[in-house]
Amino acid sequence: MDDPSNAELAHRLEAMRIDLKEDFRELVGLLEKKVSVERYEIERKNRDEVHVAIMERIQAIETAREKERQDAALARQKAEDQRRADRRLIFSALIVPVLIVLLQAYLAAKGAGS
């Protein structure tokens, strides 16, 4: 039987120790790349807070836009009401006096003709 010598066993043990050392270094490197549970929870909480803040901002923008639409509709309604009032004023200030003058002229002409 070929039993390895003590030197050969020592050499093999040293090679295994070097392999294990490299494996542990690789394992430590992989573990360092992993995020701890605490950090993951903190980052998740921060993401959730940012998400909530963004949603609140979107809601505020939508509310402001709706208020702007309502204000614009109210302004259009006020402008339309003002136009109606202006038309009534023009009618009463210009047309009615002309009609009164014409009516008086007609009545004067009819009265003079009798």
Residue 69 CA to its chain's centroid (Å) = 16
Per-residue pLDDT of the chain (114 residues; tens, 9 = 90+): 578 788 888 888 999 999 999 999 998 888 877 777 888 888 889 999 999 999 999 999 999 999 999 999 999 999 999 999 999 998 888 888 888 999 899 888 887 655
**Angle at 76 (CA atoms; ends 71, 81), nearest 5 degrees:** 125
Residues 6+ apart with CB under 8 A from 35: 43
What is the rounded distance in angstroms from the CA atom of residue 8 to the CA atom of residue 11?
Answer: 5
Q: Is the separation of the CB atoms in 106 and 99 below 8 Å?
A: no
What is the rounded distance in angstroms from the CA atom of residue 105 to the CA atom of residue 82?
Answer: 34
Extract the tokens encoding 53. Answer: 């803040």
